[in-house]
Amino acid sequence: MLKFILKRLGISVIILIFATFIIYVLECSLPTSYVERTARELATKPGSTKSAQQWIDELNAQYGMDKGIIPGYITWVGNSIRGNFGDSWNWTVPVTEEFNSTVWYSFVLGLIAFILEIIIAIPLGVAAARKQYSVTDYTVTVISLIGISMPTFFVATLLKLIFSVHLGWFELSGMQGRNYAALSDFGKLMDLANHMVLPVITLVLVSMGSLMRYTRTNMLEVLNADYIRTARAKGLPEGKVIGRHAFRNTLIPLVTVLGSSLPGLFAGALITETLFAIRGIGYASYHSMVNGDIPFTMFYLAFASILTLLGNLVADILYAVVDPRVRVN
Amino acid sequence: MAENENVKKTSKKDSSYISGKESKKISKFNRKLTKKLEKQRADSKVDPSVYRTNMRDKNNIVEFDNVCSYFFTDIGTVKAVDGISFDVPKCSTVGIVGESGCGKSVTSLSLMQLLQRPQGQTVGGEIRFNVGDQGAYDAYNIVKTPTEMMQKIRGKRMSMIFQEPMTSLNPVFRIGDQVDEVISLHNPDMSKEDIKARTLQMLELVGIANKEGVYSMYPHELSGGMRQRIMIAIALACSPELIIADEPTTALDVTIQAQILDLLKELKDKINSSIMLITHDLGVVANMADYVVVMYAGRVIEKGTAKEIFSNPCHPYTIGLMKSKPVVGKKVEALYNIPGSVPNPVNMPDYCYFRDRCESCVERCYDHKEGKSRAEGYGQYPPEIKISDTHVVSCYRYYEEGQVLGYPHPVNVEEL
């Protein structure tokens, strides 16, 4: 098992190098350029003695963007390995500091949504499979198809319209109420929780549909298996047949899917966070990308690549944990 | 005009094409009916007199009495088992033979109440399962027994060995756990150590040499023959009175087949149980069975002791089966095969199911010759005819010489 993991890690490093290189090339070819924009701003300022082109050249030299793409990438890799990710151009703080101040909001938001998604989707999927073609099944199918089909921005807007505009239960966006500073510590927490309700619902609604369908499909397949008939022939009560024999087998594909999405909790929810103006990592990376903030975007996307690779590794390891047939000696 | 319409109707019925409207109608009818049947089943929990009954003969372990198991599919009702009657005497082996799709497995699944519900339902007849004297009743009518009661019978009083050892064991649990499970389920008072000891004893009994090792192995680490041994161990763990073996050797190679069959025979005598052996292999039946039931298209067409069936097959289908098996030492150009094919299970004819393939039809098989009518017993599905104390055949060729026992009674699904 250790050998297998080490081998996978080795492959991951190679993939990571290529992934970050592609990201770097794309970053440098973006139509938006932080340097150019800043240079033009500086050139139009009263008292500026240099032309825009002069400013661009000067800033490029300052930011290390005058070396060309490949030497620039090598410099970036060299610095990154030493743990130096540079300063964010857009947020004007070190990249890691900005990351640290935003990622935990995303993580908490993602984790709550993830747990709710599992709690809601898996039992519903199992219930739908147990009573195939029944009212329960059709209801679950319709709900999950609605969830899958509706885009995030539409769900978010709909929720805002109903719960903030019409009912006024929650605020439209943001993370803090206007009297946040005056609240006690517990009040602050409750205020934050109140602002997280709609984003969490959005995330759950959008993501639970596919998990529900996936659970249902897998459960149906397992329920038709011969060993389920064997379990019934043993005289096991139906609850045990489903809960023990069938569910353990349904778990195999589910765990791999869930396991691979676990590291993704740190990647943030770009659209949802942006729509609800939550200062999470998704929101920060969105604004960095729009403003051409290469250091921060590079860091964020490299981090996301690592998470994806890690997710695949976690999925493979979990697969071996739940399925004795794929355990490697 | 009426005749014309009739022809039109039948020609439409004969084709496998079904319009969307018809299909919708069938689905609606099926849903309504299965819902009703499920409700009846749920209601039977309350009153034991609904599902308790008495055996006709106390020396039988199971009596099938006009059992009808139907499947309500989207193209119509498939009468997989339609009015079969036979007995399984205590401490004996009954072989059920017939070609694929003739209802052998559905018979056994009906007995275990393991039909795929709600589409599959046992809609009529009685399956009496002998449980010994218990107050006023000595048997369960499996057809009406609620699931809760069935769970106490399954695995303990009757158990089943399936035909696919490769997929019949749960891949994620250890062998030991799977055998332990059935023992602990039916013996809640047993301690963990006793259960494990019993499991190891069972593994030894079915001829597994490395029992301690196999106890903690997963199914995928075992060969097909070993898995079938494990299945037998699970089936026999609670010393059931009846073992249903549904083609236990079909998926295994010939040497292992012989071993498994010998093992079954030996163990059966050890725990004094009966075996209902389902197979399409006549050699296996000849070797194992005391009694043989021959099924064709969902009905029993001939039953008797193994000797009677093999030395004096009476039904043309049985005769055809016997002719189509290779015999050692006998030289033939090509093996015999029965011409034609089984009728469409959705639309069974109202005359003998074998008539269209039969080479030895008699006058009585038809009702449209010489002005003979159905009322006089011409052209109907043949009744069961007793030609010796144990030998019963459903064929008009014996109508004059044998004693007519009765006709199978299919259930009219419209009236349910």
Interchain CB distance below 8 Å, B154 and A235? yes
Q: Tell me if A278 sits within 8 A of A175, measured CB to CB.
A: yes
Position B9 scores a pLDDT of: 45
- Could you tell me if B113 and B101 are in contact, meaning their C-beta atoms sit under 8 angstroms apart? no
pLDDT digits (tens, 9 = 90+) for A195-236: 888 999 998 988 888 899 999 999 999 998 889 999 999 989
Would you call A230 and B170 a contact, using CB atoms and an 8 Å cutoff?
Answer: yes
Residue pair B411/B124 in contact (Cβ under 8 Å)? The answer is: yes
- Quick one: average pLDDT of B92-100? 90
Please tell me the predicted confidence (pLDDT) of residue B16.
61
* C-alpha torsion A247→A248→A254→A255, nearest 10: 150
| Residue A206: CB atoms within 10 Å | 23
The whole-angstrom distance between B220's CA and the closest CA on chain A is 7
Name the residue among A233, A245, A322 with its Cβ closest to that of B170.
A245
Contacts of B164 in chain A (CB under 8 A): 226
Q: Which of A229, A237, A325 sits opposite B162 (nearest CB)?
A: A229
- Say if residues B130 and B61 touch (Cβ distance below 8 Å): yes
Contacts of A104 (CB under 8 A, 6+ apart): none
Model confidence band, residue B370 (pLDDT cutoffs 50, 70, 90): low
Task: Please enumerate residues of B whose Cβ is less than 8 A from a Cβ of A.
Answer: 112, 114, 147-148, 150-156, 159-160, 162, 164, 167-173, 181-182, 185-186, 218, 220, 231, 234
Span B222-242, pLDDT tens digits = 988 889 889 988 988 888 989
CA distances from B205 to A132, B176, B187, B368 (A): 41, 14, 19, 60
- Is the bond leading into B48 cis (omega within 30 degrees of zero)? no
Task: Dump pLDDT digits (tens) for B244-258.
Answer: 998 888 877 888 888
Give the pLDDT score at B257. 84
Question: How many CB pairs below 8 A link A and B?
Answer: 72
pLDDT value of residue A269:
82
Q: What SS3 class is residue B114?
A: coil
**pLDDT (mean) for B376-390:** 84
Kindly report the average pLDDT of chain B as a whole number: 85
Report yes or no: B214 and B175 within 8 Å, Cβ to Cβ.
yes
The percentage of chain A sitting over the pLDDT mark of 90, rounded to a whole number, equals: 19
Q: Which of B173, B85, B112 is nearest to A232 (CA)?
A: B112
Higher-confidence residue: B66 or B14?
B66
- Nearest CA to CA, how far is A251 from chain B (Å)? 10
Assess whether pLDDT exceeds 60 at residue A316. Answer: yes
Our CA angle for B33, A229, A259, nearest 5°, is 110
**Which residue(s) pair with B130 in the sheet?**
B139
**Tokens (6 digits) for B328:** 């050692």
Of A227, A248, A252, nearest to B169 by CB-CB distance is A227
Q: Nearest CA to CA, how far is A245 from chain B (Å)? A: 7
User: How far is residue A26 CA from its own chain's centroid?
Assistant: 21
pLDDT of B371 strictly over 80: no
Distance to chain A for B238, nearest Cα, Å: 10
Q: What's the mean per-residue pLDDT of chain A?
A: 85
Q: Which residues of B fall within a CB distance of 8 Å from A235?
A: 150-156, 182, 185-186
pLDDT value of position A59: 79
- pLDDT for B5 equals 44
CA distance A117 to chain B (A): 26
- For residue B357, the one-letter residue type is R
Contacts with B257 (C-beta within 8 Å, 6 or more apart), sequence order = B249, B284
Question: Sorting pLDDT into bands at 50, 70 and 90, what band is A44?
Answer: confident
Query: Are B200 and B215 spatial neighbours (Cβ–Cβ below 8 Å)?
Result: yes
Average pLDDT on A270-298 reads 86
Q: Is the dihedral of CA A295, A297, A302, A304 positive or negative?
A: positive
Please state, in angstroms and rounded to a whole number, the distance separating the CA atoms of residues B111 and B105. Answer: 10
- B234: which chain A residues are within 8 Å (Cβ-Cβ)? 230, 234
**Per-residue model confidence (pLDDT) at position A139:** 92
Average pLDDT estimate for A29-57: 79
The span from the CA of B389 to the CA of B93, in Å, is: 18
Report whether pLDDT(B376) > 80.
no
Cβ atoms B172, A323 nearer than 8 A: yes
Q: How far is CA B9 from CA B4, B25, B156, B300, in A?
A: 9, 17, 50, 30
pLDDT of residue B258: 85
The minimum CA-CA distance between A205 and chain B, rounded to whole Å, is 32
Model pLDDT, residue A22? 92
Please answer yes or no on whether A233 and B114 come within 8 Å at the CB atom.
Answer: yes
Contact state of B160 with A245 under an 8 Å Cβ cutoff: no
Here the tokens at position B49 are 């007199």
| Per-residue CA distances from B400 to B362, B386, B388 (Å) | 12, 11, 14
Mean pLDDT of A237-252: 89
Q: How far apart are CA B78 and CA B74, in angstroms?
A: 10
The sign one gets for the Cα dihedral A290, A293, A298, A301 is: negative
What is residue A187's predicted lDDT score, i.e. its pLDDT? 84
CA dihedral of A114, A120, A124, A125, whole degrees rounded to 10: 0
Distance, CA of A46 to CA of A276 (rounded, Å): 38
**DSSP code, position B399:** T
Distance CA B230, CA B217 (A): 11
CB distance B243 to B158 below 8 Å: yes
Task: Give Rg (Cα) of chain A.
Answer: 25
Residue % of chain A over a pLDDT of 70: 99
Task: Give the other-Cβ count within 10 Å of B321's Cβ.
Answer: 22
Q: Is the pLDDT of residue B401 over 60?
A: yes
Amino acid A308 reads: T
| A119: pLDDT strictly greater than 90 | yes
pLDDT, tens digit, 9 for 90 and up, residues B169-191: 999 899 999 999 999 999 888 89
Interface test with A, best of B151, B227, B228 (most A CBs within 10 A): B151
Q: Confidence band (pLDDT; 50, 70, 90) for A105?
A: confident
Q: Are B84 and B58 in contact (CB under 8 A)?
A: no
List the single residue in A with minimal CA-CA distance to B151: A235
CB atoms within 10 A of CB A138: 13
Classified as helix, coil or strand, B244 is strand
Band (B194; pLDDT cuts 50, 70, 90)? very high
| Torsion-angle region of B300 (φ positive above 0: left; ψ -120 to 50: alpha; else: beta) | beta
pLDDT given at position B412: 80
Mutation site, A230, A247, A326, interface B, largest B CB count within 10 A: A230
Q: Which residues of B touch A233 (CB under 8 A)?
A: 112, 114, 154-155, 159-160, 162
Give me the mean pLDDT over the B130-142 stretch: 82
For A310, phi and psi rounded to 5 degrees?
Answer: -65, -40
**CB-closest option in B112, B147, B167 to A226:** B167
Q: What is the mean pLDDT of residues B161-175?
A: 89
pLDDT at residue B96 above 90?
yes
CB–CB of B185 and A234 under 8 A? Answer: yes
* % of chain B beyond a pLDDT of 70: 94
| Full DSSP string of B80-99 | EEEEEEEEEETT-EEEEE--
pLDDT at B4: 44
H helices, E strands: number in chain B: 14, 14
Please check the confidence at residue B292 and state whether its pLDDT lies above 90. yes
For position A329, what pLDDT does the model report? 53
In this predicted model, what pLDDT tens digit does every residue of B307-348 receive, in sequence order?
Answer: 999 999 999 999 988 888 888 888 878 888 888 888 888 888
Examine the pLDDT at B413 and tell me if it is beyond 80. no
In what order do the strands lie in the sheet containing B93-97? B158-161, B242-246, B274-278, B93-97, B291-296, B299-305, B392-393, B384-386, B403-406
Q: Which residues of B touch A229 (CB under 8 A)?
A: 114, 162, 168
Whole-number Å distance between alpha carbons of A55 and A76: 23
Minimum mean pLDDT range among B133-142, B211-220, B367-376: B367-376
For residue B40, pLDDT over 90 is answered with: no
Gap between the Cα atoms of B384 and B102, Å rounded: 18
Q: With CA atoms as reference, report the closest residue to B126 among B77, B63, B175.
A: B63
Give me the phi and psi of A202, to 5 degrees please: -60, -50
Please report residues of B whose CB lies closer than 8 A to that of A232.
Answer: 114, 154
Q: End-to-end CA distance of chain B, in Å?
A: 32
SS (H, E, C) B150-199: HHHHECCCEEEECCCHHHHCCCCCCHHHHHHHHHHHHCCCCCHHHHHHHH
Task: Point out which residues pair with B70 in neighbouring strands.
Answer: B79, B121
User: CA dist B42 to B31, B36, B46, Å?
Assistant: 16, 10, 9
Residue B282 above 50 pLDDT? yes
The CA-atom distances, in angstroms, between B14 and each of A81, A159, A200, B9 are 76, 56, 58, 9
- What residues of A are in the B interface, CB distance below 8 Å? 225-227, 229-238, 245, 248-249, 252, 322-325
Check B231 against A252: CB less than 8 A apart. no
Q: B363, B369 in Cβ contact below 8 A?
A: yes
Residue of A nearest to B183 (CA): A234
| The pLDDT of residue B95 | 92
Largest CA distance in chain B: 79
pLDDT per position as a tens digit, A66-103:
777 888 888 888 888 888 888 888 888 888 888 888 88
What are the C-alpha distances in Å from B112 to residues B88, B147, B152, B156, B185?
15, 10, 11, 12, 17
Is B67 within 8 Å of B125 (Cβ atoms)?
yes
Q: Which residue of B has its CA nearest to A234?
A: B155
